[in-house]
Each structure stands twice: as structure tokens, then as C-alpha cells.
Structure 1
Amino acid sequence: MTGGVAIILVGFSLIDSTSFGTLLIPVWLLLTPGKIKAGRITAYLVTVVIFYFAIGLALAAGADTFVEVLREPLAVIPSVAWRTVQAITGIGLIILSYYLEARINRRQESQTPGTPGRLARWRSRALEDADHGGATSVVKLALVGTSLEVLTMLPYLAAIGILTAADLSHAGLTAGVAAYCLLMILPAVILTIARLTMHERLTPVLTRINNWFSRLSGKAVGWTVGGIGIGILVNAVINMVILTTS
């Protein structure tokens, strides 16, 4: 695996680190008034890592088998045709990003005033688990939250594809998926340590993060999907130029 690929994977993991399950729910748990229960937040983050690690290995195994089955049939398809499909996919993702952003914004605008939205209901549940529930309830919260978003985390799915295509050993692939998952929770870990040491002084920062998610959730989805689409399109164009000039 080259250094450029590693940089791409780190970038994808940091994008995934700002998702609903990896950052927003931990922020809600950290906003709980009074003494923070570090054990429950730790249980939440450990569950998130284990869940994504297991899903990543399962996806990698499936992708590897899929590639092996189709390797010979796909070898007869010209490279230019593949790059054209890749470019169309990138354009499609860019268009999809605008649609998703508009859809989320319309849903927020149509919400009846005074009626708690989806994020508000999830926050209420997270705070209730932090205040009254035990570690088991926090683990269930992590599993439900990550299960709901795993199929929408395109950077994660793309990263698994990159790791599978990198022709790594089983140990290397396992280490790569583990490192990716740990990077995904790094911002939440940093915020947790800061909250334990700074106490209520970190509350304004956590509140701003929560408000940013609530205000820009549509744009965040659009930027993520659109960014991946742009990356795929640019890569396709560069490779097509190389193919036509070589």
C-alpha cells in the first residue's frame, strides 16, 4: 500500500469520525450535566469500534471473493470502458449529493414547530441512557446508532474497497481495518479526555458541535457524498488521459 493510498484512507476515516454514531452521540453523552461516567462512554466507543471492525472484515471478505470470481470475465473489458463507468459513477454521486442535501433540508423545513425531530429524539434517548441506564443500555445505543448509519457511510465502504484492492496479507488487511476504525473514534476520544480534565469548561465547545450537526446535517451529507464523487471522477479522468496518451 502506497503512501498516497494511506493518506486517502486517513482522510476517509476522519470524515467518518464526524458521523452521527462516531461523534454526535458521544457529544450528547458528554453534555450530560454533572460528573461524566467515563466507563459508559468507553463502553459506547469500544462497541462502535468492534461493530465497524467486524463489518469491515465481513465486507472485505465478501469483496475479495467477488473480485476473484469476476477477475477473468472482467479482464476482457477495455480499460477505457472501465474508466468511463467510473467517471459516470463519480458524476452520479455528485448529483446524488445535491439531491440528498435538498431532501434533508426539506424535511427539516417541513417539520412542525415544537415537534421534536429525529436528532432531538435520539438525543433524549442518549441522555436518558447516560443518566439512568447501565453499560448495557449504552452498548445497545451504540449498536442501534451504528447499524442505522453503516450503509450510508460511503467513505467507510470506499475504504474497505481500497484495502481489499491493495492486495494485502490477511494480517495486513486486519490491521488496516482496525487502524481505520480506531481513527474513526479519535475525535470522540480526544473530546472525552478533554471533558474529563476540563469539566464544564468544555461545554461551550460541545454545544457548538451539537448545534453544527443540527444546523448543517444536510450539507454534511452532501459534502461527504459529493467529495467521494469528485474523487472518483478525478481519478477516472486522470487514468483516461494516461491511457489515451500512452
Structure 2
Amino acid sequence: MSTELLLMVGGLALLDMLSPTALGVTVYLLLTEKERLSSRLMIYLLTVAGLYFLVGVLFMLGLDAMMAAFSSIFQNRIVSWIMLIIGGILFIGSFYYPTNKKSDLPRPKSKSKASMVTLGFTTTLIEVGAAFPYFAAIGLMTTSNLAAFQWLPILAGYNFIMVLPPLIVFILHLLLGRVMQRPLERLRIKLLKHSGSAISWIMCIVGAILIINSLDYL
């Protein structure tokens, strides 16, 4: 396992921190919920991180199986061409993505813990379709032919970094209390207003990474 790979995957994980949905839901809960906030929020974040981790494992195993079907001579070249095409589509598409797009965030239907699990499922369904950094990281780990004992902790660490912003906001809320009320309200407005811009930047950066990384094996 190379240091370069760890740095690239770590950079993609930091980029995934820009994803607005999980942070937006966390801010909404902090602003509106008072009863059993800590346990409900932890259930929500664990559901999101757990489902993302499961999706990552399934993709890692699935990509390994698909790549094993090809001979070693063409394996890297085929994957590199696929990465180049996907990277090009993401890079070009980022310039046409509506940056002023404004969308509402998912909200819990009730105050039960089951509703937090459902909300976690909803968040994952919304985010996983646009989780470009995550899929790019999976592609990089797959082409590096890592063993399971190598990529499993990397995948777990990636998901921890991904939910780190909501955890930091929650800890600040616990420490500062009402002082965080106004900053949280401003943060929620910005997340709703600039979610399209964040996705556009993510598409652009991930597309460039995939293009650069695929050139060596074409």
C-alpha cells in the first residue's frame, strides 16, 4: 500500500465532507429537537456511515470479481479507460450543473429511534447516487489490488471522516449551548442555498483526479 494512494483516498474523503445532506440534517435536528437528541442523532449518523460502509464493501467485492474476469494484461488498461471516460464526463458536467439549485433537506417523520434509521436510509439513498469521491476512492483501491485487510480499515476511516463535520457541530452544540443557535441557523440557510455549488466543485475535482490517475495505464 503506497503513501500516494493513502493521500489520494484521504483527499477524496476530505472532499466528501462537503456533502451537504448529513450535515444539513444534523443542523436541523440540533435546531428543532430537544428530547433524546444525542441518542437519536448518533443513531442517524451511525446508520448513514454503516450503510455507506456496506455499499463500499459490496462495490469493492463486486469490482474485484469483475476485474478477475479479465486477464492481467488488459485489466489495468480497461479500468483506466473507464476511469478516464467517467472522469471526463464528471469534469465537463461540473460546468453545466446548476450551482444556484436550492433543495430541501430530508426531515424525520416522527421522534422515534426508528424514524432516525429511516432518515439515515433516506440520506444514503440521496447521497450515494452523487457520491463521486467515494466511488473514485473505491476505484483507486481496486486498481491498486489491495487485500481485504488493507482496504477494510481504509474504507472505515473514509466513512468516519465523512461524518466528522456533523460530529464536530454536535460537540460544539453540546459545549456552547445557546451560543450556537444563530450560527446553526446561518449554516442551515447556506447549506440549502449552496448545495448545488458544492456538488459542482466535487464533480470537477473528482473528474480531474480520475483523469490524471488513469493516464499512466492507457
The verdict on a shared fold, with TM-score over 0.5 as the criterion, is yes
Structure 1 pair 34–40 and aligned structure 2 pair: CA distance change class (3 A)? closer
TM-score (norm 1): 0.78
Counterpart position of 1:171: 149
Post-superposition CA distance 1:73-131 (Å, at most 9, x none): 725x9x6x9867655543322211122x23x64x65xxxxxxxxx406x3xx34x54xx
- The amino acid of 1:97's aligned partner reads S
1:192 and 2:189 aligned? no
Give the corresponding residue for 1:149: 127
The amino acid of 2:206's aligned partner reads: I
Partner of 2:66: 66
Q: Which 5+ residue runs of structure 2 have no aligned equivalent?
A: none
CA RMSD of aligned residues (A): 2.6
Classify the secondary structure of the residue corresponding to 1:213. Answer: helix
Instruction: Point out the more displaced range, 31-40 or 156-165.
Output: 31-40
Cα separation, 2, equivalents of 1:236 and 1:173: 20
- 1:11-30 aligned at under 5 Å gives the runs 11-30=11-30
Q: Once the 2 structures are TM-superposed, how far is the Cα of residue 168 of structure 1 from its aligned partner?
A: 2.2
In the alignment, residue 61 of structure 2 is paired with which amino acid? A
Contact 1:91 1:229 in 2 (8 A): yes
Q: Structure 1: 5+ residue runs without aligned partners?
A: 109-117
Give the conservation status (yes or no) of the 8 Å contact 1:14–1:183.
Answer: yes
Of residues 222-231 and 3-12 in structure 1, the stretch that sits farther from structure 2 once superposed is 3-12
| Cα distance in structure 2, aligned partners of 1:139 and 1:24 | 16
Pairwise CA distance, 1:56? 0.7
CA distance in 1, matches of 2:115, 2:39: 12
Partner of 1:92: 89
Q: Is the 8 A contact 1:16 1:153 kept in 2?
A: yes
Q: Counterparts of 1:45 and 1:167 in 2: how far apart (Å)?
A: 30
In structure 2, C-alpha distance between the alignment counterparts of 1:164 and 1:228, rounded to whole Å: 16
Amino acid at match of 2:62: G
Shift of residue 182 of structure 1? 1.0
Change (3 A) 1:197 1:86: closer
| Structure (1/2) with the larger helix percentage | 1
Instruction: Confirm whether residue 136 of structure 1 aligns to residue 114 of structure 2.
Output: yes
Partner residue of 2:203?
225
**Higher mean displacement: 170-179 or 29-38:** 29-38
Query: How far did residue 33 of structure 1 move?
Result: 5.8
CA contact (8 A) 2:87 2:207 kept: yes
How far did 1:207 drift? 2.2
Which one of 100, 104, 109 corresponds to residue 119 of structure 1? 104
CA distance in 2, matches of 1:47, 1:171: 23
Counterpart of 1:234? 212
Q: TM-score under structure 2 normalisation?
A: 0.87
Letter in 2 for 1:47: T
